Amino acid sequence: MASFQTWAKALRLPFLTATVVPVILGTAIAWYEVGAFDWLLFVLALAGVTCIHLATNTANDYYDHLSGNDAANKRPTKFSGGSRVIQNKLLRPEQMRNASLFFLFVGVAIGALLYCMTKNTLILWIGGIGAFIGFFYTAPPFKLGYRGIGELLTGIGFGPLVVVGAYVVQTGMFSLTPLAASIPVGLLIALVLLINEIPDEEADRKANKHTLVVILGKREAISLYHFFMIAAYLFIMTGILMEHIPAYGVLALLSLPIAVKAYNASTEYIHDKRQDIRKLLPANGMTIALHLAVGLLLSAGYVLASFF
């Protein structure tokens, strides 16, 4: 019987902030726009999306093992290279496969329950698309993450799809407000993936996994990382000016010191002649922290606006 620590590592629990943030943001926007908030619907939405995320994590480990991608990775870090539980023989490949199918089933079942409670077909569409992207990110026959669109799909899946989905669960309708607010969060989670792919570049190339880092090269990937980091803040300011984001959304600018640290660390790494991966790790951690900070501060902005 595998220990809790082993399963926590296999499930990559610290990365679940990618799920929690957009669900909270979508729910906060629903409260701001129409005063809707139902605890049970919130908990079910969070549980459902979390299960799909866990199914994605375990499926990624299983199918990256089958493709030889993770085995080819000789320089894994705590942010990249998979959980390594299969490579370190802590869990068998079939255990990871079974875990993925279990969480996928539970996530889909929760989605069906939400539909029964709300009778809103948008929930089925949003949940179905999310489950498809997550499972087939590495699973054949689609292997979406191997085709140069993984970063885009990750940004959509953990940005607009989840934020709008959480909003729809609470309100029963679609709105441009959560869609606009989801763009910075989607960009930042895509940047988490992009910066984490840099240590994996050599292994991904060997496994024919066409990430943006493999396609563009490390230097251009870092330039793209910098561009979209700045773009995330421009979207926030534009959203405030166009009144899709309340003025309290300016709180998100409190995250700028984290962004500066991530920007500087990634710049130092790419200008290092040896490109010592240890110099990149602060940028990996800071990008995760930046996504969390921006998402929660934006959510706080909507909550404050609903009171004042």
> What pLDDT is recorded for position 109?
98
pLDDT of residue 141: 95
Predicted pLDDT at 19: 97
**For 79-92, how does the pLDDT look when each residue is reduced to its tens digit (9 = 90+)?**
998 999 999 999 99
3-state secondary structure of 84: coil
**Which is nearest to 163 in space by CA: 52, 19, 6?**
19
Predicted local distance difference test score (pLDDT) of residue 2: 79
- Res 275: pLDDT: 87
Determine the pLDDT at residue 273.
86
> Is 34 inside a domain boundary?
yes
Which residue intervals of the chain are DSSP H helices? 4-11, 17-34, 39-67, 69-72, 93-118, 121-135, 150-156, 162-171, 176-197, 201-206, 212-216, 218-241, 256-271, 281-307
Within a domain: 303 = yes
**CB-CB contact of 44 with 106 (8 Å):** no
Q: Is residue 3 part of a domain?
A: no
Does residue 127 form part of some domain?
Answer: yes
> What residue numbers bound the domain in which 150 lies?
15-307
The answer to the question of residue 245 being in a domain is yes
In a domain, 232, yes or no: yes
Which bin fits 119, alpha (ψ -120 to 50), beta or left (φ > 0)? left
The pLDDT score that the predictor gives to residue 172 is 95
- Looking up tokens 């079939």 gives 94
Domain membership of residue 144 (yes or no) is yes
Residues 6 or more apart whose Cβ sits within 8 Å of residue 216:
224
Domain count along the chain = 1
pLDDT under 50 in the chain at which residues?
none
Burial of 88 (0-12, 13-18, 19+ CB in 10 A): exposed
The tokens of 54 are what?
Answer: 């866990």
pLDDT of residue 74: 83
Token output for 45: 């939405």
In a domain, 1, yes or no: no
Provide the pLDDT for residue 308: 86
Which residue, 161, 287, 129, 138, is CA-closest to 210?
138
